[in-house]
Amino acid sequence: MSEIDLDNEMLAFIDSYLQVSRLSTATSIARQRIDYDAMVQHFSYPHPRGISSADSMAAGRHGDIPLRRYRLGDGDDSALILFIHGGGFILGSLDSHDDICAELCATTGYDLVSVDYRLSPEFYHPVHLDDVEDAFHSLQHDNVILVGASAGGTLGAALCYRLSSSALRPAGQVLIYPGLGGDRLDLDSYRQNANAPLLTTADIDFYRGARCQGDELPIDDPEFYPLSGVDFGNTPASIVISADIDPLRDDARLYAEKLQAAGVTAHWINEPGMVHDYLRARHVSKAAGAAFGRICDSIKQLAD
C-alpha cells in the first residue's frame, strides 16, 4: 500500500481521523472508548430531513437490549433493516453509528433498527451474537435485511449461520468490510495491507483476543469465524463489500465465493482507494460518498 492508492480527499480524512482520535489498540480499552467517541463526534452529521427515531428495549437472554428505530416520514416497513455496528467488539453503541443509520434509512426509505449489543471485555463470545439474535427475533418481521459494518459484519454472517435451519431467518445481508476469519488463513490482503491506515493486522489480533475469555480461540466455530463454516446452503442472498486498502479485504471475497459455491446468490464489491471505516468519510470524500450510495443500492436490491 502506498499513498498513490489514496486520493487527496481520503488522505485528508485519514489525517483528520488520526488527529482527532489518536485511537490505538496499544492503550487501555477505557482510553480507546474515549478516543473512539471523540472520533465519532467529529464525523457526526445531522439527521436528514424527515427522519424520526425512538429508543426501546428488547428482552434478551442476558438482559434487556437497547434498540433505536429510525423512520422516514410515515415509514416503509415492507422491509426492515437491522443494523449491527462495528467497533472490534469493544467499542460502539447506538450513538456511534447514529447518523449513518439515519442516512441509510433516509436513502433506502425503509425503517431501520439499530441494536446495542453487549461489548467485551465486560462480556465475551457468544454474548454479542446472542444479543443480536434476540434483537432479530424481537422484530417479528419476515423481510429483515441485516446490515453489519466491521465487527457488525462478523455478527451478521454468524447470525445467518446460526439461524440457517430456523423457520424465521434474515431475508438478506449486506456486510461492510467484515472480519470473517481470514486472519487464520493465508490471504494476500493480510500481507499487502498489514499496516493499512485505520486498521492493521496487529489491531485485528488485539480485537480477536479481546472478544474471548482466555487464550484459546474457538477458531473452528462458524459463529466466531464465519469462514470456518462447512454448510452455507441456507444463507440468504448476500452482498459483501470490502475496502481495497484493508487487511480484511479478502475475507469478503472468500466468503462470497463460499456462498456462491453453495448455490447462494452472493456478490462481492471491492471499493478501490477505500480504507477500513470509510463510512465515516462519506461527506468528505466523493469516492466514499459514491461507495455509501452502493451500500444503499445493495440494501434496496435485497429488500425488493
With cut-offs at 50, 70 and 90, classify the pLDDT of residue 3. very low
> Does the structure show a pLDDT above 90 at 120?
yes
How many CB atoms within 10 Å of residue 167? 5
pLDDT digits (tens, 9 = 90+) for 182-211: 999 989 999 999 999 999 999 999 999 999
Q: Tell me how far apart the alpha carbons of residues 142 and 156 are, in angstroms, rounded to a whole number.
A: 16
CA 170/CA 117 separation, integer angstroms: 18
Burial (0-12, 13-18, 19+ Cβ within 10 Å), 127: buried
What's residue 1's pLDDT? 42
| 122 SS3 class | coil
pLDDT band at 4 (very low <50, low <70, confident <90, very high): low
- Strand 111-115: give its sheet, edge to edge: 51-58, 65-72, 111-115, 80-84, 144-149, 172-176, 237-245, 266-275
Mean predicted lDDT score pLDDT of the chain: 96
Q: What pLDDT score was predicted for residue 216?
A: 76
Mean pLDDT of 54-73: 98
Instruction: State yes or no: pLDDT of 235 exceeds 60.
Output: yes
Question: DSSP state, 280?
Answer: G
pTM: 0.96
CA–CA distance, 251 with 254 (Å, rounded to integer): 5
- Asked if residue 230 has pLDDT above 80, the reply is yes
Where do the domains of the chain lie? 3-303
Q: What is the DSSP letter of 50?
A: T
Cβ burial of 32 (10 Å; 0-12, 13-18, 19+) is buried
* Run of H or E including 103: helix 98-108
Distance CA 62, CA 65 (A): 8
Determine the topology of domain 3-303 in CATH: Rossmann fold (3.40.50)
Rounded Cα gap, residues 94 and 36, in angstroms: 13
Q: pLDDT at position 214, please? A: 76
Looking at residue 298, what is its pLDDT? 98
Residue carrying the nine cell digits 493480510: 190
- pLDDT at residue number 2: 42
Q: Average of pLDDT values for 103-131?
A: 98
Helix axes 286-303, 98-108, angle to 10 degrees: 60
Provide the 8-state DSSP code for 229.
-
Pairing between β-strand 111-115 and β-strand 172-176 as defined by DSSP bridges: unpaired
Instruction: Give the mean pLDDT of 66-82.
Output: 97
